[in-house]
Structure 1
């Protein structure tokens, strides 16, 4: 059954407020995203479940924002955190180094089979993307023949790389950018995303579609002046802005070739889908392409403590080593010892419990069952994904692919319905996938250790919620 209108208020950005649950709540001092509304309060979490302060049990099929990839309350990670707290909780990495930072960085580099060389550890994906932009610029200033005109970045439409001014500038999530446009950097531009469901033409082959996107990127280089471009950045697989759209075969490799031809860097943002989410530790492993710079975060530390990282390829690392010998950037909490200890333990668990293999197998099952159970629904336009990262796009008309009007907030209503007691499941709602304003998706991204029974339950609940809202 869908939530009743009098139970729910939906804010301008789609964040919800369940009115009944708030009647006895005291005024919050937290600056919530919806300033006048307080979201449901979570009291505890264990395994794949969150328990609210009202006693409601919610299956976390989204891992928050695709973060809690080991579920909640992992004792091994907790013990690793406590051990590190007993040694040293904090020191400033530009002055010192610590064993947890060294160990985690080596683990990440080794996981690329030596195809990447250095790691800069920060506290979020946004910080990692900011660092990527900075090191890209510095790289060109430190070449044997400096290229000081390279100041511009090319991103993609319907993309998202973070909420600081730099990362917001390079991405293009219209709703999140809108009021900040006047203060965003003017040295960024965007080309079309790789979005076959909406943008591949009838009768157009995958090769022809990729060639068209390559031509668009080439034209953007020519428009800006190839000698002015620092880098092209793309999410290996999109997040909420498009809804877990995998790259078309050959797309990323072809885009890197354009960058290489013009001497620009190729940056892959794997904040949401890296470190195992797609069934391989790095999503680019499945694409036959290695980035010059890569960013990761969510699956790195599984949410136990905030952490992210910029992973630097050999070409860039060697240039800084032979040049100034310094990265002109730092963060107060870079290489935080406790965060590094937690993330290292997370990575050991992923290896020892063979969770990449489980992610690939359970992801295949999840996608298959979703398509079987709701793929023919009149309002389900597309179901796509890889590993344990699946997106469902909803449309008003299946044939024309016409999206619902944005004011209907379909994805938010589905998210809200899932949180109701009769369903007890959490999805990630997304909007603007079709054109930056219209287009509704929900994302399903459960923990890497889900079982076949969990997957069947997720699909059963998803079907009930979707049919409850859309009929």
Structure 2
């Protein structure tokens, strides 16, 4: 409730949160914002094409640390950083200063014509963070753009190698790689693809995702499960012709459309070995799971598997500017360097100086304040409290995750794992309920996790600089929302 929401203070880290009573917001700013959003007691018409045309979302008038304040004065703990984006929380002074300093230097250049210190600095930081395995970075404005660039580069790589027949991609069911047509085409989420299906590429096929909760057999080890999934991938290579495949595209750790599922042991190494056997590339999508979200800067390092192409975005710039990047393995770069010496692709805002400055500042904070260590230290606490508080709930089927990326799968019947039907819109209802003043928490809702249509998950993806007290607040409020919607 507004009277017991935490406020932000400084306690060693920039804008680190501590629990401290905060009185309900009654200042003129909140009152004016609320009044501006209301006309004769009704919401003003909006010119924004919102996701729901008949029900605009709450208007946020300020953000500080982990808290968002709406136009009606409600304060909401942002337990997901939006869509797993705001990894430093909101209004961080170091990042704001970097943006202003860059605006005072150069605000924009067209990357095919010019380069800047900030884009060079960010690219160097990214490649060095992989120990030089990925030797080039192509900096864009979103995760979808990074995936589009990856698909194009994979194709160009094989054309330059003299293998132009490689036009196919293999991806995973219930996956998500972005909403542009190329990215949506390699995504396997049925509901998101449905109305656009006639527009999507037909050169993509799908295999089962790693989903132990629903896919692993009784008594089967993770390694055996990974081997079985590898056999399915091998069969798909054979079906479409091994020499026709450009790449296998996969999220290193599944995002919202499956619900924060870590890869089983040996899964990634098994998939890469099959790609290597057939001369195809491995593209790992770390738009959500990368840049520290799972406890290491690159999620693939936890499984000791180096991709040929890697995409990052959300945690790269923490939401302070739109930014994403494609990281390219040195072997791929070498083929292009010895061939045309170019990449046949560009974006108007690639390498945007202000976005690069913001991302550099975000990564400086992550490094300087030891935030990867904080994620790794508090992740077991978050897991333990979630399992203690919600593991026994009759509708909580599975709790899974890694680092600060956790999914809670909700089921209608726990013993049979029967999902709620999509028509119930359970996850969306839980999200909307959490925004109410008596709960004050933003949760990330996902649907279709069971089969692409039915099945609900809520995800948590808090800022990397939260405290143990914040973890306790997140778990307690999440549990109260679940109980408020589904009963105790």
- TM-score normalized by the length of structure 1: 0.95
Map 1:235-246; keep pairs closer than 5 Å. Answer: 235-246=251-262
In the aligned structure 2, how far is the partner of 1:362 from the partner of 1:444? Answer: 13
Tell me the equivalent position of 2:33.
Answer: none
In 1, Cα distance between the equivalents of 2:296 and 2:234? 30
1:281 to 292, 297, 310: 297
Q: 2:88 aligns with which of 62, 70, 75?
A: 70
Q: Distance in 2 between matches of 1:186 and 1:47?
A: 45
Matched, 1:426 2:442: yes
Structure 1 distance, partners of 2:322, 2:255, is: 19
Matches of 2:46 and 2:471, distance apart in 1: 36
C-alpha distance in structure 1 between counterparts of 2:146 and 2:482, whole Å: 36
3-state SS of paired residue (2:451): coil
Deviation at 1:422, TM superposition (A): 0.4
Range with greater deviation from structure 2 (171-180 or 43-52): 171-180
What is the distance in 1 between the residues matched to 2:394 and 2:261?
21
1:207 maps to which residue? Answer: 223
Q: 2: CA distance between counterparts of 1:178 and 1:238?
A: 20
Instruction: Supply the distance in 1 between the matched residues of 2:383 and 2:430 (Cα, whole angstroms).
Output: 19
Specify the SS of the correspondent of 2:42. Answer: coil
Deviation at 1:274, TM superposition (A): 0.3
Q: Please say if residues 21 and 40 of structure 1, whose CA atoms lie closer than 8 Å, have aligned partners that are also in contact.
A: no
Cα deviation for residue 383 of structure 1 reads 0.3
Q: Does 1:80 align with 2:98?
A: yes
Matches within 5 A, 1:31-70: 31-70=49-88
* Alignment coverage as a number of residue pairs: 451
Alignment correspondent of 2:18: none
Aligned residue in 2 for 1:189: 205
Q: d(CA) in 2 for partners of 1:452 and 1:394?
A: 25
| Contact 1:411-1:440 within 8 A present in 2 as well | yes
Deviation for aligned residue 1:416: 1.1
CA distance in 2, matches of 1:95, 1:438: 48
Query: Counterpart of 2:243?
Result: 227
Contact 2:38 2:44 in 1 (8 A): no
Question: Could you tell me how far 1:203 is from its partner in structure 2?
Answer: 2.0
- Equivalent pair of 2:85/2:314 in contact (CA under 8 Å): yes
Deviations 1:5-64 (A, max 9, x none): xxxxxxxxxxxxxxx989522110011111222111000100000000111000000100
> Does the CA contact (< 8 Å) of 1:154 and 1:232 recur in 2?
yes
**The residue matched to 1:438 in structure 2 has which SS?**
coil
Alpha-carbon distance between aligned partners in 1 of 2:224 and 2:97, rounded to the nearest angstrom: 52
Is 117-126 or 28-37 further displaced after alignment?
Answer: 28-37
Deviates more, 1:297-306 or 1:355-364: 355-364
> Do residues 256 (structure 1) and 272 (structure 2) align?
yes
The yes-or-no answer on 1:154 pairing with 2:170 is yes
**Structure 1 unaligned regions, length at least 5:** 2-19
- Could you give the per-residue CA deviations for residues 61-105 of structure 1, whole angstroms, max 9, x where no partner exists? 010000000000001101000000001100000001000000000
What residue is the counterpart of 2:350 in the other structure?
334
Give the 3-state SS of the residue equivalent to 2:408 in structure 1: strand
Distance 2:313 2:427 in 1: 25
SS of corresponding position for 1:396: strand
The whole-number CA distance in structure 2 between the counterparts of 1:339 and 1:208 is 44
CA distance in 2, matches of 1:153, 1:285: 24
The 2-side partners of 1:359 and 1:203 are apart by: 32
- CA distance in 2 between counterparts of 1:34 and 1:299 reads 27
* Alignment partner, residue 107 of structure 1: 125
Q: CA deviation digits over 1:318-377, x for unaligned, max 9?
A: 110110000000000000000000000100000000000001111111111000111011
Once the two structures are TM-superposed, the CA of residue 137 in structure 1 deviates from its matched residue by 0.3
What TM-score comes out, normalization by structure 2 length? 0.91
SS at match of 2:470: helix
Cα distance in 1 for partners of 2:225, 2:477 equals 36
Instruction: Give the alignment partner of residue 180 of structure 1, picking from 177, 196, 201.
Output: 196
Deviations 1:410-451 (A, max 9, x none): 111111111110010000000000000011000000000000
1:122 aligns to 2:137 (yes or no) = no
Structure 1: how far apart are the matches of 2:44 and 2:428? 25
Structure 1 residue ranges, 4+ long, deviating more than 4 angstroms after superposition: 20-23
Quick one: distance in 2 between partners of 1:337 and 1:423? 39
- Could you tell me how far apart the structure 2 residues matched to 1:210 and 1:103 are? 38
Gaps of 5+ in 2: 2-36
Map 1:362-401 → 2, pairs under 5 A: 362-401=378-417
